[in-house]
Amino acid sequence: MTRGARSGHRGPRLPAWLLALGLLLLAAGVLLARTDWFSADDVESSAVAGRATVAFLDVGQALAVAVVTADGHALLYDAGNSARDVREVIAPFFEERGVTRLDYLLLSHPDQDHVGGMPAVLDTFAVETFLDPAVPSTNLAYLETLQRVADRGIQAQRARRGQTLALGEHVRLEILWPRDPLLRDESGDVSDNDNGLVVRLVHGDVTVLLTGDIEAPAERALVSLEEGTLRAQVLQVPHHGSQTSTTPELLEAVRPAVAVISAGAGNPYGHPHAEVMNRLRAAGIVVYRTDVDGTVVIESDGTSYEVRTQRGWSGER
């Protein structure tokens, strides 16, 4: 989303009483068929090999990243735009792998193209823990998400830098961002994009960095905090490839071999921006795009990884 076009992703606004309800739920919560190209044989061989699967699902101009481990643990990072994305893409991916329960449901930030499918995910799967940055929002889908989390007694955590979570025995989640005090935009409001949840997934020697929609201010802060330790083989390109993100400083710090952009074909925002694409190519990074390649899957054995796409290309690294 470009800055001038962001309002289209905020989602419907609410009357004051619903906003008050949402803020109460937020306070309580922070206390503490497009993928049928995978066969059952693929699932079985992945489990036998002890692999972890990270899938950047093709949910159009939105983001949803699914992770499944060989020992049956799973998480979802963001949930696309709507219940349709859950019904047609997210749920089939998990169901084909026998997943009925998510260890973690992570929300990068409460814009519609990230939170829109969350209520449907909670209606479809059992969820153990919900994590999000807990930034102010009037998005109806976000407040519905918080309501379901509270009603079902799901553990809710406010995501902050320094937290580490285990996804089974072999995959680790490191919360790198946000941190307090939260970043503010030029108007003085808390920035939802720049306080988005950034997660590093670690499976042995293979690392994947999930960045949501962070922009240049958050990227600069993160690079400074990590002091040379931000390396990852796979990078989810921030903000769908918007011109406001993916700074040279971030690329130099991460040095990914592979970058994945989640964007919708012919989207009105011009994502990914030509400047970002040129920057990635100049750095020698192999780029995958959900609008071109469909769902992009990283299969890791903890030592090396393989990239497969819905539309046929694969490669091993």
pLDDT in tens, 124-183: 999 999 999 999 999 999 999 999 999 999 999 999 999 999 999 999 999 999 999 999
- Residue 26, Cβ neighbours under 10 Å: how many? 21
| Interatomic CA distance for residues 260 and 182, integer angstroms | 27
Q: Please give the average per-residue pLDDT across 302-315, as a whole number.
A: 83
Q: Which two tokens stand for residue 46?
A: 């992945």
Q: What is the mean pLDDT of residues 192-202?
A: 97
Tokens 């859950």 belong to residue: 86
H or E stretch including 103?
strand 101-106
pLDDT in the model for residue 13? 53
Q: How confident is the model at residue 46 (pLDDT cuts 50, 70, 90)?
A: very low
- Mean pLDDT across 26-37: 36
What's this model's pTM, rounded to 2 decimal places? 0.85
* Whether the predicted pLDDT of 29 surpasses 80: no
Q: Whole-angstrom Cα distance, residue 91 to residue 6?
A: 27
CATH 3.40.50.970 fits 16-316, yes or no: no
Tens of pLDDT along 258-303?
999 999 999 999 999 999 999 999 999 999 999 999 999 999 999 9
Phi, psi (5° rounding) for residue 245?
-135, -175
Q: How far apart are CA 277 and CA 284, in angstroms?
A: 11
Question: What angle, 0 to 180 degrees and rounded to 10, lies between the N-to-C axes of helices 140-151 and 16-29?
Answer: 50
Q: Which helix (H) or strand (E) holds 40?
A: helix 40-48
DSSP 246-301: --HHHHHHH--SEEEE---TT-TT-PSPHHHHHHHHHTT-EEEEHHHH-SEEEEE-
Q: What is the pLDDT of residue 88?
A: 98
**Band of the pLDDT at 50, cuts 50, 70, 90?**
confident
According to the model, what pLDDT value does residue 10 have? 53
84, pLDDT greater than 50: yes
